[in-house]
Amino acid sequence: MDPVNRPSADPARNPPPSLEVSGLAYAYPDGHQALFGVDLTVGRGERVALLGPNGAGKTTLVLHLNGILDAGAGTVRVAGLPVEKRNLGEIRRRVGIVFQDPDDQLFMPTVREDVAFGPAAGGLRGTELDERVTEALEQVGMAGYGDRPPHHLSFGQRRRVAVATVLAMRPEILVLDEPSSNLDPASRRELADILRSLDVTVLMVTHDLPYALELCGRAVILSDGVIAADDRTQSLLCDEELMRTHRLELPFGFDPRSVKVT
């Protein structure tokens, strides 16, 4: 091939995907096999919903993304960086996990201290740290709440602060565990608006299928430890046999065909 026409190897021009999972298998110490060879690639800037019934292996997969669990077989790469012991510090900066319960994530006396905790632990100080905290709180619409104790906030506000604690690390990929759970309709909509505004790759673990359709153009179904389907979210939700096979049910009266997806 003519060198002029050869595809560039420059990672700045052709960055690797945010997430590459290849042949990932894992068994717990008690012998329970949770993953049987998962293959999943998530491109930069994608928003992907991870769907599946309880016990499918979703949490086990997520815990491999930042090295909490070590792969029994296969590999995981985040932005081209292998998830292995020597890289864990950088991997955990790049993979931001927002837990289902924000109270598992917020433990400091004030909102500002919670959001500053991660960057400060990474060495940020002074004006740079203050700017990072302000930026993260502005991204989630909580700029005026820095001095408030987290336990004085509503549940929806605490969830937004939990997202800010992760955004303050400027992650490559934002992993959300059931982000819409326990939110009232207004808080649910506000969080959706925030997530749409973020310039970050999103992997959203959810049983809220309408929320997945609203936010994620692509969805994958994890079932019995393997990827059973990977397609446009609307296409998956419209496949009644596929949904039934993998114990996924839409809310009563909700028709994904009636939703205009952009």
pTM of the model: 0.90
Distances 73 to 22, 31, 57, 116 between C-alpha atoms, Å: 9, 15, 15, 36
Domains, the chain, with CATH or none = 15-105+172-251 (3.40.50.300)
The answer to whether the CB of 178 falls within 8 A of the CB of 100 is: yes
- pLDDT tens track, the chain, 262 positions: 343 333 344 555 678 999 999 999 999 999 999 999 999 999 999 999 999 999 899 999 999 999 999 999 999 999 999 999 999 999 999 999 999 999 999 999 999 999 999 999 989 999 999 999 999 999 999 999 999 999 999 999 999 999 999 999 999 999 999 999 999 999 999 999 999 999 999 999 999 999 999 999 999 999 999 999 999 999 999 999 999 999 999 999 999 998 887 6
Which of 62, 98, 101, 253 has the alpha carbon at shortest distance from 181?
Answer: 101
CA gap 216, 261 in Å, rounded = 10
Produce one character per residue of 85-98: b if its CB has 16 or more CB atoms within 10 Å, e if not.
Answer: eeeeeebbbbbbbb
What is the H or E stretch that residue 36 is in? strand 33-42
The residue type of 40 is L
